Structure 1
Amino acid sequence: MTRSDTDTREQFRPDDHPTDHFLLTTVVGSYPKPKWLNRADELAEDDDSKFDADDLQEAHDDAARCITHEHERAGLDTVVDGEMRRNEMVEFFAHRIDGYDFNGRVKVWGHNYFDKPSVVDEVEYDEPWLVDEFEFTSEAAEKPVKVPITGPYTLASWSFNEVYDTEADLAYDLADLVNEEIEKLVEAGAQYIQIDEPALATTPDDHAIVGECLERIVAGIPEDVRIGLHVCYGDYSRIYPELNDYPIDEFDVELCNGGYEQIDVFTEPEFEPDLALGVVDAHTAEVESVAEIKENVKEGLKVVPPEKLTISPDCGLKLLPREIAYGKMENMVKAVREVEQELDDGEIDIAPTPAKAD
């Protein structure tokens, strides 16, 4: 199923879009931080520094404005601030949710650490998590702004649970909080929300728990608000076709890094939500050519027709050099615009959409 019969995609088509066909372009969320912002974060943590909270706020504002404009300059249809105010996708939200506490940093992989939180009391919603961030970015942007939110299943899975009987119970309570946050974001004008659930790729047998979380997340959310789900890596055959039952408008997959070996997973049975397809690799520090990206875009047309295809990088780009990240976005948009023109001109064959059974 899909969340509704409402076309949530067409609202993001630019008024001056030059072709009849429209493939929505976006980014997953994170983006390389300017080096000076990293230095500002360090200064703010230095007790001997005169760099205070107001200075850090100004630095975050400047960086968010800078990256939002960088996304627009690349030509994206919907933009994000690159998550300039966020440190890590779980830690950032746990600091804003009553019931979480922190015990110290743990090693994730390589030389990367994060402050893994513990749930020490029942989780509760207090102050909005992202509304200020969204309002600032919307004010800075000329394009529509997408809001990525770490999903409740990942927030539960990547935390120590010291209170709830099961991780699922924790995830369901967190899903209710995400629903409250989205309500606040919608009141502030948000029309495009992306739920990030990377933990699902590592524990795909829990797809039913994620489905229940999503039901809670979208409860009461207007049908014209676009809800996407991003899941990176993993064996997608272990959650397909079950994901067709998720109440979402769009499913975002990471397939470029794997050479689209799993693209056929989504062709039988029919893929029901819109497909957001990664067409540039977030893990290689080389900018793909426009010609190469065009071929990657066409992989998505094996699964859905053009009016159901969104194009993005595989995942967040924060680990790449900034000039590489920008080059990938710029070439991605160029490739998409060329594919749209070729679709208008009838130069690309599109597989017929199977007729739905009565």
Structure 2
Amino acid sequence: MKKYDINQFPRKPLQTTVIGSYPLPGWLEFSAQNLDQFGSEDLAELQSDAVTTVVQDQLRAGLDMITDGEQSRLDFNLSFYGFLQGIKMESTTSRLFGPPAHDQRGKHQIVGQLSAPKGLGTLSDFKKLKQSVAHLDTTPILKASVPGPYTLSGRLLPNSDYIDRYAITEALIPIVQQEIVNLVNAGCQELTVDEPSMSCYAHREDPIRLVDIFNRTVAPVSGKVRLSIHLCFGNYKGRAVGLRQYKPMFPHFLEMDVNEIHLEMASREFSELDIISSIAKVKDVAVGIIDVKSYYIETVSDIADRVRRCLAYAPAEKLSFAPDCGLSQTARWAARKKLTNMVAGVDVVRGELGLC
């Protein structure tokens, strides 16, 4: 089992971060619903201004590590299909009415060889993020996030050439590989590969096969960037989709070639929290201590108590803290308050440990 040198990619103990997505400002969401009324330069300005806005929200909260909030994406992964060639985009979903759920996200037909000659768009997103903080005297850690090939394969329908989800995944691996190589070459030092489908379906799939897929995907950048994986159980419209247990994944997922594993804990009332002990022996562990599915605003005291609970299982230098998942499904006013209290609560414990 590969252990990582904590000094290879140094970071502060009890680091605070986010997963990737952030709520769209209201004006951007309105604009996204009326794209035909904007020119290409207008749209570029909208996206740039949105990144500036969400970066400011994160900086005001005091986060150690920030993202671009994925402001150019429709969802953490759905917009990537617009970059893929060889597919026919579904214009509508099969169920339009009733309670919102994952089955209302469309699935697309494969009509040719899968490719992405112009990439998946994350490189330009990362450049916008870098530009948005270029004026700062002290630059926060910048993180990019990319959906993994297994998760991306979930919205594509198999055909005679790609007979099942695994065949589609294999075709997507080189596409995702090129994307993360481009990000690292552009100076990205912190990279999350989102693979929630692996955590959602590990109970019914072969976890060893999933680990192999992941490790082959990140192989070109292993050791060149601090890598993390986000393992949640789904958050579309605030709904989970998988068996919400980590037991089926471990110990197999400890073989993933990453520096850090992020787990969804807050919405699960910190069930299986003891699992961070085994992770921390070989990797860093990021614990979700903000429930993005709830509009209860965690207090500073709540957060401090949760951090102390985590310290019973893992040392401060191996721990990071974040929301359970991306914040795209959370109202912006709530996201701001939750992040501000998260940082303040972590700082309380940092003070107790003499880390401030």
TM value normalised by structure 2: 0.87
Q: Which residue of 2 aligns with 1:351?
A: none
Matches within 5 A, 1:294-305: 294-305=304-315
Q: 1:146 to 1:64 in 2, by over 3 A?
A: same
Matches within 5 A, 1:1-358: 1-2=1-2, 4-5=4-5, 7-10=7-10, 12-13=11-12, 22-45=13-36, 49=37, 51-106=38-93, 107=95, 110-111=99-100, 113-129=104-120, 130-141=122-133, 142-162=139-159, 163-204=161-202, 205-221=205-221, 223-233=223-233, 234-267=244-277, 271-344=281-354
Mark the runs of 5 or more structure 1 residues left unpaired by the alignment. 14-21, 346-358
Q: Are the aligned partners of 1:7 and 1:224 in contact in 2 as well (CA < 8 Å)? A: no
Moved more, 166-175 or 233-242: 166-175
Q: Are the aligned partners of 1:2 and 1:248 in contact in 2 as well (CA < 8 Å)? A: no
Q: Are the aligned partners of 1:278 and 1:311 in contact in 2 as well (CA < 8 Å)? A: yes
1:142-198 deviation line (CA, Å, top 9, x unaligned)? 322111111111111232122313322321231222111111001111011111111
**Matched residue type, 1:69:** Q
Instruction: After TM superposition, give the deviation of residue 122 of structure 1 in Å.
Output: 3.0
Moved more, 134-143 or 107-116: 107-116
Instruction: After TM superposition, give the deviation of residue 4 of structure 1 in Å.
Output: 4.2
Q: Are the aligned partners of 1:290 and 1:335 in contact in 2 as well (CA < 8 Å)? A: yes
Q: 1:269 to 1:41 in 2, by over 3 A?
A: closer
Moved more, 267-276 or 171-180: 267-276
Q: 1:91 to 1:65 in 2, by over 3 A?
A: same
Instruction: After TM superposition, give the deviation of residue 288 of structure 1 in Å.
Output: 0.6
Q: 1:213 to 1:264 in 2, by over 3 A?
A: same
Q: Are the aligned partners of 2:17 and 2:320 in contact in 1 as well (CA < 8 Å)? A: yes
**Matched residue type, 1:303:** Y
Instruction: After TM superposition, give the deviation of residue 268 of structure 1 in Å.
Output: 5.3
1:192-225 deviation line (CA, Å, top 9, x unaligned)? 1111111123311232232122222222315141
Q: Are the aligned partners of 1:172 and 1:212 in contact in 2 as well (CA < 8 Å)? A: no
1:90 and 1:131 map into 2 onto residues whose CA distance is: 15
Q: Which residue of 2 aligns with 1:16?
A: none
Q: 1:206 to 1:123 in 2, by over 3 A?
A: farther
Q: 1:208 to 1:105 in 2, by over 3 A?
A: farther
Percent identity among equivalent residues?
28
Instruction: After TM superposition, give the deviation of residue 111 of structure 1 in Å.
Output: 3.5
**Matched residue type, 1:131:** L
1:214 and 1:39 map into 2 onto residues whose CA distance is: 36
SS of residue in 1 equivalent to 2:18: coil
**Matched residue type, 1:145:** L
**Matched residue type, 1:92:** S
1:68 and 1:292 map into 2 onto residues whose CA distance is: 25
1:36 and 1:286 map into 2 onto residues whose CA distance is: 25
SS of residue in 2 equivalent to 1:210: helix
Q: Are the aligned partners of 1:123 and 1:174 in contact in 2 as well (CA < 8 Å)? A: yes
Instruction: After TM superposition, give the deviation of residue 28 of structure 1 in Å.
Output: 0.9
Instruction: After TM superposition, give the deviation of residue 259 of structure 1 in Å.
Output: 0.9
Instruction: After TM superposition, give the deviation of residue 119 of structure 1 in Å.
Output: 2.8
**Matched residue type, 1:137:** L
TM value normalised by structure 1: 0.86
Q: Which residue of 1 aligns with 2:237?
A: none
Q: 1:334 to 1:6 in 2, by over 3 A?
A: closer
SS of residue in 2 equivalent to 1:220: helix
Mark the runs of 5 or more structure 2 residues left unpaired by the alignment. 134-138, 234-243
Q: Which residue of 2 aligns with 1:354?
A: none
Q: Are the aligned partners of 1:3 and 1:223 in contact in 2 as well (CA < 8 Å)? A: no
Instruction: After TM superposition, give the deviation of residue 289 of structure 1 in Å.
Output: 0.7
1:77 and 1:90 map into 2 onto residues whose CA distance is: 24
Instruction: After TM superposition, give the deviation of residue 270 of structure 1 in Å.
Output: 6.7
